[in-house]
A and B are shown apart, each in its own frame.
Chain A
């Protein structure tokens, strides 16, 4: 006597050959490795996937509709929620779009504060990404190291803007607060301490044999595919495309700063594999340290916020502004009709593009490798759904 629903026909033979069927599995929406609430419908033959179809929308809050209701200044805290892992670039994208429409110039010191905050945000986002990637693959210790450093950076940012995750630091026209006294020295001291830790992290996990074997050669993406599927940021650069909005579509004070754009080279496997996407993030943290150092040294005096009317009404028009967020080229298509409320805001995010590619990437991968692919694409579910 079997349990209801579990009567399984164990074997069906046809012409002496064992007949098999594909399994259809639901992975998520609650799953420790999905980096938020998202779901995959996996069709697998044993351990090998035929395909994994992403099912998104669980975190859709219609942030774009909210923008139309809360006004230009009022929308700033909502931008934090687009990508809460790296909220500063979202702040910056929104501020820049509004400034572009109204023709506002941000004071130099304000721009430097923005870049410092954004680069710290990039480092702490990459720390979470590489830390959780190691954990997803089965190495739990590196995560604690990464999170420890992320906490120190949160402390630093908290001193600047009072928040540790959703910063609401920037304003249309600059930033809300100047750097506190003696913060510059503290930040420099922290960068001096942090940079050698990247080497330590490399020794701990980056070139670990098991880790490398789980990543190298897995789910490679060609440069042509990466562009056609709209991959951006470290995912695009992991495939060897040397493109960074900060360098190639320059904004803010990035043209005054020196930094390299690391790209994947397929050094341990195939160009554009999971390892390349991982190692690009590790190298970008070093570049961010370089940028922060230069900013802190060159920091000019003066105001941090331009004079912007409280009842902000940019002239009618539209613009498409791009910033390099931690997950890459983040686009803001903003339409103004000349009133105190934005007419339309569309946020183009890196995670939305990256997850759309999973169905193609998942063919013939092991189910366990899907976890590595999700982690290497650095998906953040609220950024997918907005």
Chain B
């Protein structure tokens, strides 16, 4: 069965979930997306995964973006259907002070690691995640480095994180 275009995928989401799914953004295949209310995320994902015509069997990419001006951290889900060869992206806004988003690790097993990475680098808590802990940074690292206001500590366990320029005369 040939894949659906973004407008058709969005229409199905809008028909099923109404206001919980925002307007279709982006006109290209690589940037078509819709913003989803955090509370509806798991239901929307399950619908995208299980509905025959949609069949998003893979969470291809999960990333977080910090927007201090809007006071949100946005979590971006790039989904792909191997069965129908069509992509779609979901975006979820979480409040910056205490970003919490429901986990989708029960739907796509690899999301367990992807969510750990977003938690590690941006500090988003994924509710319902079976094992949410840092994955790339050391366990005792202060803060979340991909936040825009992150300040690198001057040292870590006595190891300096900077050095004098070697180019100085």
Contact = CB atoms under 8 A, between A and B. Distances in A.
B61 A331 contact: yes
B110 A230 contact: yes
11 contacts: A56-B135, A57-B138, A65-B145, A230-B108, A249-B85, A319-B30, A321-B30, A329-B60, A346-B63, A346-B76, A352-B117
Interface residues of A, number: 36
B110 A356 contact: yes
A331 B78 contact: yes
Contacts of B167: none
Interface in A206-255: 227-230, 241, 243, 248-249
Nearest to A58: B136
Contact of A320 (B61, B109, B145, B146): B61
B59 to A, nearest CB: 7
B137 to A, nearest CB: 7
Interface in A309-365: 317-322, 329, 331, 333, 335, 343-344, 346, 348, 352-353, 356-357, 360
A357 B113 CA distance: 10
Interface string B110-154: 101100010001000000000000111110000001100000000
Residue among A65, A333, A353, A385 with max Cβ neighbours from chain B (10 Å): A333
A283 interface: no
B82 A227 contact: yes
Interface of B: 26, 28, 30-31, 57-61, 63, 65-66, 76, 78, 82, 85, 87, 89, 108-110, 112-113, 117, 121, 134-138, 145-146
Contacts of A230: 58-60, 108, 110
Nearest to B59: A230
B163 to A, nearest CB: 15
**Interface secondary structure of A, over-half rule:** mixed
Contacts, number: 86
A333 B61 contact: yes
B57 A228 contact: yes
A178 interface: no
Contacts of A73: none
Contacts of B146: 62, 64-65, 344
A229 B137 CA distance: 23
Given A229-B110, A319-B28, 15 more contacts: A56-B136, A57-B137, A64-B146, A228-B109, A320-B60, A320-B78, A320-B89, A331-B61, A333-B63, A333-B76, A346-B63, A348-B61, A353-B110, A356-B113, A385-B136
A304 to B, nearest CB: 24
B31 A60 contact: no
A100 interface: yes
Contacts of B145: 62, 65
A227 B63 contact: no
B157 to A, nearest CB: 15
B57 A344 contact: no
A319 B110 contact: no
Specify which of A65, A241, A320 lies most central, judged by the most chain B CB atoms within 10 Å of its CB. A320
Nearest to B148: A68
Contacts of A329: 60
B125 to A, nearest CB: 19
A344 B135 contact: no
Nearest to A344: B65
Given A241-B82, A333-B78, A348 B60 contact: yes
Given A100-B30, A319-B30, A385-B136, A243 B82 contact: yes
Given A65-B145, A227-B82, A320 B30 contact: yes
Contacts of A346: 61, 63, 76
Contact of B108 (A228, A317, A352): A228
A163 to B, nearest CB: 22
A16 B2 CA distance: 65
A228 B59 CA distance: 8
A320 B31 contact: yes
